[in-house]
């Protein structure tokens, strides 16, 4: 990862590079979300080109955050599917009924071995095999709850699919911030960023409890990396400040630092300039442009501030009442009568 905190501020509207790979980084097809009788998102087809900044705009209640939450694994869609980097991450379950067989394969073998040994001689070997069967069953069920990456890919190879959970989707490379800031209020800025690194750390609970060298080394490296992200978003001297004591604009930056620490390939930003003054908004717009240009991260942005949207986006998609009503360059969308009517108000006389 090549953060260059001191680098010159680039032109936010300049694409990072011509994407060598023309396939979209994210491809959503027919995504629908119903809340009872309300259709919050209706049959949305949507893709994000690699290396682009794409904005999602629309009036209040248009379904933007709901769509974000579906991508991030926080909400199950009622219908539709989403691929990320050519891999299905969200969609209807496929052969989910077959998953429990995986949990019982190894314990089942141990039970058979134990039964066989008991049949031959009711000695200690049979008891050990029986205890092993119980241990394997507990381990198996724990793995099913924790769902590590290798477990999910093994299921995938067997043709079994379930939508990713939020932590799976972070591990696959989608980071996010929230419309209503969700920091760990009583933790310091640095600790908040370190939480973002969790999915890339290797030390176990036992390493931490025994303060083994692996844990200590990883802790120091994570502090160095966290400081790098704090510097990058413009919070170089705030690492020891408890999150709830940071000014509002800094809390928004800290959320971005935490999201960057997850090492995303796609960053979802839900109204990053909400509540900011004009100076902070300009700084945030510049930061978004730098994240794409310097770090090569693709960005999906929900934003109400039209100066931010028009200044930074390669493409804008407009939602209204859960439906996609327009899509195109900022200029084309701004001139679209449907958008003017739905979002920007009636045209000026």
Instruction: Count CA within 13 A, CB hemisphere, residue 140.
Output: 18
Give least dist CB 28 to Mg ion, A.
Answer: 17
Give least dist CB 330 to ligand ATP, A.
Answer: 18
To which residue do tokens 């260059």 refer? 4
Whether 32 and 78 have beta carbons less than 8 Å apart is answered as yes
Assess 52 for contact with ligand ATP (CB under 6 A): no
Binding to ligand ATP by CB under 6 A, coded x per residue (else -) over 18-37, reads -----------------x--
Choose the binding region for Mg ion from 62-70, 82-90, 150-158, 325-333 (rule: CB under 5 A). 62-70
Residue (65 or 251) nearer to ligand ATP, CB: 65
Residue 70 has a CB neighbour count (10 Å cut-off) of 25
Binding to ligand ATP by CB under 6 A, coded x per residue (else -) over 177-216, reads --x-------------------------------------
Q: Which does residue 133 touch among ligand ATP, Mg ion, none (CB within 5 to 8 A, set by kind)? A: none
To which residue do tokens 């327009």 refer? 326
Q: Interhelix angle for 213-232 vs 189-196, to 10°?
A: 110
* DSSP, residue by residue, 306-320: HHHHHHH-SEEEEEE
Using CB under 6 A, which of 16, 26, 28, 62 touches ligand ATP?
62
Residue (38 or 142) nearer to ligand ATP, CB: 38
Please count the residues of this chain forming the interface with Mg ion, following the rule CB under 5 A: 3
Q: How many Å is the Cα radius of gyration of the chain?
A: 24
Residue (41 or 233) nearer to ligand ATP, CB: 41
Listed in sequence order, the DSSP H helices in 87-148 are: 99-120, 124-146
* Torsions phi, psi for 33 (to 5 deg): -135, 120
* Torsions phi, psi for 174 (to 5 deg): -115, 115
Using CB under 6 A, which of 10, 19, 30, 61 touches ligand ATP?
61
Assess 65 for contact with Mg ion (CB under 5 A): yes
Using CB under 6 A, which of 42, 54, 66, 161 touches ligand ATP?
66
- Angle, vertex CA 50, rays to CA 297 and CA 314, nearest 5: 85
Whether 241 and 253 have beta carbons less than 8 Å apart is answered as no
Whether 144 and 160 have beta carbons less than 8 Å apart is answered as no
Please count the residues of this chain forming the interface with ligand ATP, following the rule CB under 6 A: 12
Assess 199 for contact with Mg ion (CB under 5 A): no
Q: Is 237 left (phi over 0), alpha (psi -120 to 50) or beta?
A: alpha
Q: List binders of Mg ion among 156-195 (CB under 5 A).
A: 179
Q: Which does residue 63 touch among ligand ATP, Mg ion, none (CB within 5 to 8 A, set by kind)? A: ligand ATP
- Chain residues in the site for ligand ATP (CB under 6 A): 35, 38, 40, 58, 60-66, 179
What residues make contact with Mg ion under the rule CB under 5 A? 64-65, 179
């Amino acid at each position: 990862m090549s953060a260059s905190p001191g680098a010159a501020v680039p032109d936010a509207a300049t694409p990072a590079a011509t994407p060598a790979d023309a396939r979209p980084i994210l491809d959503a097809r027919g995504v629908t979300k119903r809340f009872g009788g309300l259709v919050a998102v209706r049959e949305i087809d949507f893709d994000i080109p690699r290396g682009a900044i794409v904005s999602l705009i629309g009036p209040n209640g248009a379904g933007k955050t709901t769509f974000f939450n579906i991508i991030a694994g926080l909400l199950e869609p009622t219908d539709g599917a989403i691929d990320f980097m050519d891999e299905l991450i969200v969609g209807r379950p496929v052969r989910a009924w077959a998953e429990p067989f995986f949990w019982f394969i190894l314990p089942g073998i141990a039970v058979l071995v134990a039964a066989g040994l008991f049949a031959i001689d009711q000695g200690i070997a049979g008891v050990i095999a029986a205890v092993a069967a119980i241990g394997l069953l507990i381990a198996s069920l724990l793995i099913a709850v924790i769902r590590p990456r290798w477990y999910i890919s093994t299921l995938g190879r067997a043709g079994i699919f379930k939508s990713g959970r939020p932590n799976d989707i972070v591990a696959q490379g989608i980071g996010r911030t929230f419309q209503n800031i969700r920091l760990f209020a009583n933790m310091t800025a640095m600790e908040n960023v370190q939480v973002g690194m969790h999915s890339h750390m290797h030390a176990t609970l036992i390493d931490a409890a025994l303060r083994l060298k692996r844990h200590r080394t990883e802790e120091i490296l994570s502090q160095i990396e966290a400081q790098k992200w704090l510097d990058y978003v413009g919070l170089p001297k705030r690492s020891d400040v408890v999150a709830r004591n940071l000014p509002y604009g800094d809390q928004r930056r800290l959320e971005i630092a935490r999201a960057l620490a997850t090492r995303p390939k796609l960053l979802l930003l839900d109204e990053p300039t909400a509540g900011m003054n004009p100076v902070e908004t300009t700084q945030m717009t510049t930061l978004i442009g730098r994240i794409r240009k310097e770090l090569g991260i693709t960005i999906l942005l929900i934003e109400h501030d039209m100066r931010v949207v028009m200044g930074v986006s390669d493409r804008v998609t407009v939602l209204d009442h859960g439906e996609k009503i327009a899509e195109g360059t900022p200029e084309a969308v701004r001139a679209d009568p449907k958008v003017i009517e739905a979002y920007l108000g009636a045209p000026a006389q």
